[in-house]
């Protein structure tokens, strides 16, 4: 299911405004710049790849996303390859030196089979010494408890105020969190709402899924300033590579 805030053209236009000042881009951009060919899975509006091209990246940059509205924004940049779809719909074989997933996109893989298939596709798409970089929220910190109306976010876009509110629907069940996102503006006739479900894997479970897919963890961090991963870290930021000890 593609969430409304990804598939609605109006909200796609607002996405980057709500995400302004992203620390994950500061972390990932140097890695992108040092790789000859890069795939951004769940690229959204393509902001990370746009920044890379503007910074002088001269190699292959490819963005993959299932939401047409988001890619319509991304396609304004014509010197980057944009692909509509998901990892189940592509068949790249050893084509990318770096694969990134930002914006906690990794957490949309809710079912075990979906996660395993996606990781297998990522490994297949990596070159022999390619890297896979992504992050997932640390479940031990219980960050979803702050997803309340008291922590609403408001932006001004082209003179229009838009407010975003997250509300958790049910307590964490040890695996996933389901929540609603409501967007409202005095300039709109009515609010727009969507429902999302995200998976929260702990570090041990994450390591098991990666190794099962033939991916080896090279580095892990607990925040975007490269602090060590601890139980109180907000993020589980992972740099993984093909396990070269395995044969295809």
Q: Is the pLDDT at 10 greater than 90, yes or no?
A: no
Under 8 Å between Cβ of 182 and 167? yes
Among 51, 64, 129, smallest CA distance to 100 is for: 64
For 4-138+200-242, which CATH superfamily applies? Vaccinia Virus protein VP39 (3.40.50.150)
Among 172, 159, 30, 192, smallest CA distance to 100 is for: 30
Q: Is the pLDDT at 245 greater than 90, yes or no?
A: no
Give me the phi and psi of 22, to 5 degrees please: -65, 125
Cβ atoms within 10 Å of 108's Cβ, excluding its own:
21
Q: Is the pLDDT at 5 greater than 60, yes or no?
A: no
pLDDT on residue 13: 87
Higher-confidence position of 1 and 59: 59
Q: What is the pLDDT of residues 140-173, one digit of tens each?
A: 999 999 999 999 999 998 888 999 999 999 879 9
Classify each residue of 69-94 as buried b or exposed e, where b means 16 or more C-beta atoms within 10 Å of its C-beta.
Answer: bbbebbeebeebebbeebbeebebee
Share of the chain above pLDDT 90, in %: 85
Cβ atoms within 10 Å of 164's Cβ, excluding its own:
17
Q: What is the pLDDT of residues 56-79, one digit of tens each?
A: 999 999 999 999 999 999 999 999
Q: What is the pLDDT of residues 204-222, one digit of tens each?
A: 999 999 999 999 999 999 9
Domain boundary assignment for the chain: 4-138+200-242, 140-199
10 Å CB burial of residue 129 (0-12, 13-18, 19+) is: exposed
* pTM, 2 dp: 0.94
């Amino acid at each position: 299911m593609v969430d409304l805030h990804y598939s609605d053209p109006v909200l796609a236009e607002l996405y980057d405004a709500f995400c302004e000042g992203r620390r994950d881009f500061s972390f990932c951009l140097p890695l992108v710049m040092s790789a000859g060919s890069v795939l951004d899975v769940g690229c959204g509006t393509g902001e990370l790849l746009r920044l890379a091209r503007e910074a002088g990246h001269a190699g292959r940059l490819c963005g993959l996303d299932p939401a047409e509205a988001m890619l319509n924004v991304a396609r304004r940049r014509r010197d980057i390859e944009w692909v509509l779809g998901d990892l189940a719909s592509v068949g790249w074989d050893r084509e990318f030196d770096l694969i990134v997933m930002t914006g906690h996109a990794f957490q949309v893989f809710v079912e075990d089979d979906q996660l395993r298939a996606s990781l297998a596709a990522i490994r297949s798409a990596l070159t022999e010494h390619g890297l896979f970089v992504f992050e997932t929220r640390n479940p031990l910190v219980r960050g979803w408890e702050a997803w309340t109306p008291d922590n609403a976010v408001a932006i001004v876009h082209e003179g229009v105020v838009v407010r975003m509110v997250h509300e958790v629907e049910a307590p964490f069940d040890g695996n996933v969190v389901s929540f609603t996102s409501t967007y409202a503006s005095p300039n709109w006739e009515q609010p727009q709402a969507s429902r999302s479900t995200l998976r929260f894997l702990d570090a041990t479970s994450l390591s098991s899924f990666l190794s099962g897919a033939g991916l080896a963890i090279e580095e892990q961090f607990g925040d975007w300033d490269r602090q060590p991963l601890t139980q109180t870290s907000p993020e589980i930021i992972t740099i993984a590579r093909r396990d070269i000890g395995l044969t295809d």
